[in-house]
Structure 1
Amino acid sequence: MKILHTSDWHIGRTLYGRKRYEEFEGFLIWLAETIQKNSIDVLVVAGDVFDTSAPSNRAQELYYRFLCRVAASSCRHVVVVAGNHDSPSFLNAPRELLKALDVHVVGSMSTSPEDDVLVLCDEQDAPELIVCAVPYLRDRDIRVAEAGESVEDKERKLMDGIRTHYAAVATLAEQKREELGVDIPIVATGHLFTAGGQTIDGDGVRDLYVGSLAHVTAGIFPASFDYVALGHLHVPQKVNGSETIRYSGSPLPMGFGEAKQQKSVCQVVFDQAQGHSKTESVQLIDVPVFQKLERIKGDWDGISRRILDLSIMDSPNGSGVWLEVIYEGEEVIGDLRERLESAISDTQVEILRIKNNRVIDRVLGRIHEEETLDDLNVNDVFERCLAVHCVPEDQRPELLRAYQETVSSLYEDDVKAE
């Protein structure tokens, strides 16, 4: 049996104002073709299907068209869980209809863990796989807030809540397997941040929880899981070196920091041997580039040479190249944008972002490197406000934690829920 693990599609995400629907469509067409070509039996999507909780009509169209295409293929089941960017109620709304297409959607943690433990069957209606479909676990789902509790208490409750939920679904999955009397694999999903997880600057990954941010360890996943399909981190990676606990990573680069990263999806193969033992292999399948991105850094000569090289190179689908230019030369260039516009004229090169570090450092004389508000995250802005208003240093940590909790609660509000 073959399982394909992917996550973090972020359909609808823009890049410095540019819409990317053609890229998302190209990926989903490629994914459907890969499923058919590799005879995939089960597709697992580990969260962040959409980039926002209120996706556009076009984003929804791409999602549902893909599900219909996969439902008509040799793939027997699709399992979709919500990520922190998704609206649980929006994903759940058509779940009963999608179930008729063997598309199983879990938008939020159920009050009964048994609802999230799926037994999937083959063409002969024989059980072939158990999936513990765990979505992004929201703070309010796994922790009861109490007045006067410390930050350490909150962190401990978060970790205990995550651990308890995975233990509960694992126990139920083992019970179901025992009742069925067949030694079938158990796969779990998750959308969270693991300790030591690798991220890239500008990838859009935001911390899920306040404090320790609930960076869980591999030990939180019970040993009965034969494979753990994770989402949230955009860099494809193993957790604590484990072959069977993995992030598939995002299929498209979410920012210029990911431009040189090879994107992939994970193919997991389970072989039944003598009816009881099972071995598995995990193979990464490279995702093609649907829109070339590149970050150019250096002095003017280096930047202009690279633009010239790119202007004569072929690009995927004839779509040209999108650039981020960071000028770091010694010379102060006040007309950098005009020079760059001239350099890319009559080419398929398009510059989405320009950062002139030399002007920032020498002309503006700012303490910080950031040129625009786009370069700051919400925590940076709040910390600047504390500094501007001369808030005493000893008061800032607690104020920052309270601010982070407020922002986190805003992110977790389900705008589609009544």
Structure 2
Amino acid sequence: MRLIHTSDWHLGHRFHGRQRHEEQGRFLDWLADLIETEQFDALLVAGDVFDTTTPGSRAQSLYYRFLHRLAGSSCRHVVIIGGNHDSPALLEAPRDLLHQLSIHVVGAVDTSVHKEILILRDADNQPELLVCAVPFLRDRDIRLAAAGETLEEKGQQQLEGIREHYRQICLEAEQQRQQLDPAPPLVVMGHLFVAGGKTMEGDGVRDLAIGGLSRIDGGAFADSIDYLALGHLHLGQLVAGCATRRYCGAPLPMSFKEASQCKQILAVTCAGRTVTVEPIPVPIFQPLASLRGDRDALLQGMEQLKAAGSTAWVELQYEGEEVLPNLRQQMEDAVEDSGLTILRIRNSRIYDFALQQAREAESLDDLTVMEVFERCLDSGGIEATQRPLLREALTEIIETLDEEDSETPAARNSS
């Protein structure tokens, strides 16, 4: 039996303000073509189908169009679990209808683990795969809150709750497998942060723990598992060094840091209970480029991209000594009439200059946040007509941060 393991599509995600519907649609079309061409038998989606709990109509349309196409393909089974970004209710709303198409959706846990255990059968009604489809485990799913708990106690209880849930479901699945003939391979799906997992700056991965304490140890999963298919971390990687326990990673880059990274899905072949895994590179549907250096280096880098006919979304990191208040305009002029689009310019020099001016007369501790902000506006040559809106935005951000800081740990946890 041949499976595809993928996760973290984040449909509806905006990349530095830019919609990605076309890029995501091209990925799903490529994935459907691959499944049909290579005759894969099942698809496992390990959470974070959508980027938010309230995805827009375009994102949902991409999702359902893809599932409709799979219903007429060689893919006999689709198993989808909810991630921390997904709305369990939204995923499970068409559950009964999708089940008629052999598409199994588990958006949230139930009072019994039986909901999460699936016996997938072939055309002759013989069991060919046993799947534990464990969605993202929210705090309320795995423990009872108690008055007077410390943050550390809550985190430890959450960790123990996750371990116990996986222990119980694997135990129940193994008992069911012993009653099946032939005994199928056991695949466990999950969406969580395993200790030792690698992330990358800016990739949007959220620490799911209370105080970072619920990163379950990779050795906590049962030995009876033939393949562990995880989602949440956006970098493809092994779990505890085991070739049959993996994060497939996000199929599309979630930050400019991932611009040069080869994204993948995983092809899993089950020959009885012997499992082999082969990464399949995902094509680049929207190129990204990150350039750094002084003004001349940035301009030279963009000229090279233009000469190659690139249509990349570009990040520029200015590292020159000269303060250039009009840097953005210069860079925008350089890409005019080309396929390049500048999405982000990081001009730390101008902020360093503003802070240096402050330090000459006083220490940073002597200044308020708004005073530092005003000096940045002055150094950046920001027009007076633009300043009121910027001040209003900063004030709103500060108020939001102050409200979060004033919340009690219990209030933050419940939210």
Fold-level similarity (TM above 0.5): yes
User: What letter is aligned with 1:300?
Assistant: R
User: What letter is aligned with 2:116?
Assistant: D
Instruction: Give the Cα separation in 2 of the matches to 1:381 and 1:238.
Output: 40
Name the residue aligned to 1:342: 333
Residues 371-407 of structure 1: CA distance to partner in whole angstroms, max 9, x if unpaired? 999xxxxxx9799759xxxxxxxxxxxx969666645
Residues 161-182 of structure 1: CA distance to partner in whole angstroms, max 9, x if unpaired? 1111111111111111111132
> Which residues in structure 2 correspond to 1:183-198 (within 5 Å)?
183-198=183-198
Instruction: Give the Cα separation in 2 of the matches to 1:178 and 1:382.
Output: 58
* Higher mean C-alpha deviation, range 190-199 or range 100-109: 190-199
Structure 1 gaps of 5+ residues are 273-277, 374-379, 387-398, 411-418
* Partner of residue 325 from structure 1, selected from 316, 327, 336: 316
User: In structure 2, do the counterparts of structure 1 residues 51 and 384 end up closer, same or farther at CA, with 3 Å as the change threshold?
Assistant: closer
Name the residue aligned to 1:363: 354
- RMSD between aligned alpha carbons? 2.3
Instruction: Give the Cα separation in 2 of the matches to 1:61 and 1:384.
Output: 35
Aligned residues: 383
User: What letter is aligned with 2:352?
Assistant: D
Deviation at 1:67, TM superposition (A): 0.4
Please tell me whether the aligned partners of residues 127 and 183 of structure 2 are also in contact (alpha carbons under 8 angstroms): no
Name the residue aligned to 2:301: 306
Residues 51-102 of structure 1: CA distance to partner in whole angstroms, max 9, x if unpaired? 0111111111110010011111001000000000000010000000000000
Name the residue aligned to 1:173: 173
Instruction: Give the Cα separation in 1 of the matches to 2:245 and 2:25.
Output: 28
Instruction: Give the Cα separation in 1 of the matches to 2:183 and 2:129.
Output: 9
SS of 1:354's equivalent in the other structure is: strand
Instruction: Give the Cα separation in 2 of the matches to 1:327 and 1:235.
Output: 27
Instruction: Give the Cα separation in 2 of the matches to 1:51 and 1:288.
Output: 21
Name the residue aligned to 2:287: 292
Name the residue aligned to 1:7: 7
SS of 2:35's equivalent in the other structure is: helix
Instruction: Give the Cα separation in 1 of the matches to 2:113 and 2:398.
Output: 40
Instruction: Give the Cα separation in 1 of the matches to 2:164 and 2:140.
Output: 15
Instruction: Give the Cα separation in 1 of the matches to 2:409 and 2:24.
Output: 31
Q: What is the TM-score of this pair, normalised by structure 1?
A: 0.87
User: In structure 2, do the counterparts of structure 1 residues 354 and 406 end up closer, same or farther at CA, with 3 Å as the change threshold?
Assistant: farther
Deviation at 1:14, TM superposition (A): 0.5
SS of 2:83's equivalent in the other structure is: coil
User: What letter is aligned with 2:203?
Assistant: D
Identical counterparts, % of pairs: 48
Structure 2 gaps of 5+ residues are 359-363, 378-389, 391-396
Name the residue aligned to 1:270: 270
SS of 1:172's equivalent in the other structure is: helix
Q: What is the TM-score of this pair, normalised by structure 2?
A: 0.87
Name the residue aligned to 1:45: 45
Name the residue aligned to 1:390: none
Instruction: Give the Cα separation in 1 of the matches to 2:401 and 2:95.
Output: 44
Instruction: Give the Cα separation in 2 of the matches to 1:405 and 1:311.
Output: 53
* Higher mean C-alpha deviation, range 202-211 or range 362-371: 362-371
Name the residue aligned to 1:352: 343
Please tell me whether the aligned partners of residues 209 and 408 of structure 1 are also in contact (alpha carbons under 8 angstroms): no
SS of 1:67's equivalent in the other structure is: helix
Please tell me whether the aligned partners of residues 208 and 408 of structure 1 are also in contact (alpha carbons under 8 angstroms): no
User: In structure 2, do the counterparts of structure 1 residues 351 and 72 end up closer, same or farther at CA, with 3 Å as the change threshold?
Assistant: same
Please tell me whether the aligned partners of residues 159 and 216 of structure 2 are also in contact (alpha carbons under 8 angstroms): yes
Residues 201-245 of structure 1: CA distance to partner in whole angstroms, max 9, x if unpaired? 111111112213411111121111111111111011111211111
Deviation at 1:185, TM superposition (A): 0.3
Please tell me whether the aligned partners of residues 36 and 75 of structure 1 are also in contact (alpha carbons under 8 angstroms): yes
Name the residue aligned to 1:54: 54
Please tell me whether the aligned partners of residues 309 and 339 of structure 2 are also in contact (alpha carbons under 8 angstroms): no
Residues 4-44 of structure 1: CA distance to partner in whole angstroms, max 9, x if unpaired? 10000000011122111000100000000111122211100
Instruction: Give the Cα separation in 2 of the matches to 1:401 and 1:149.
Output: 18
User: What letter is aligned with 1:332?
Assistant: V
User: What letter is aligned with 1:140?
Assistant: R
**Relative contact order, higher structure (CA 8 A, sep 6+):** 1
Instruction: Give the Cα separation in 2 of the matches to 1:158 and 1:401.
Output: 24
Task: Tell whether 2:156 aligns with 1:150.
Answer: no
Instruction: Give the Cα separation in 2 of the matches to 1:243 and 1:354.
Output: 40
Instruction: Give the Cα separation in 1 of the matches to 2:406 and 2:263.
Output: 34
Moved >3 Å (runs of 4+): 364-373, 380-386, 399-410
Please tell me whether the aligned partners of residues 268 and 281 of structure 1 are also in contact (alpha carbons under 8 angstroms): yes
Please tell me whether the aligned partners of residues 248 and 265 of structure 1 are also in contact (alpha carbons under 8 angstroms): yes
* Bigger radius of gyration among the two: 2
SS of 2:63's equivalent in the other structure is: helix
User: What letter is aligned with 1:237?
Assistant: Q
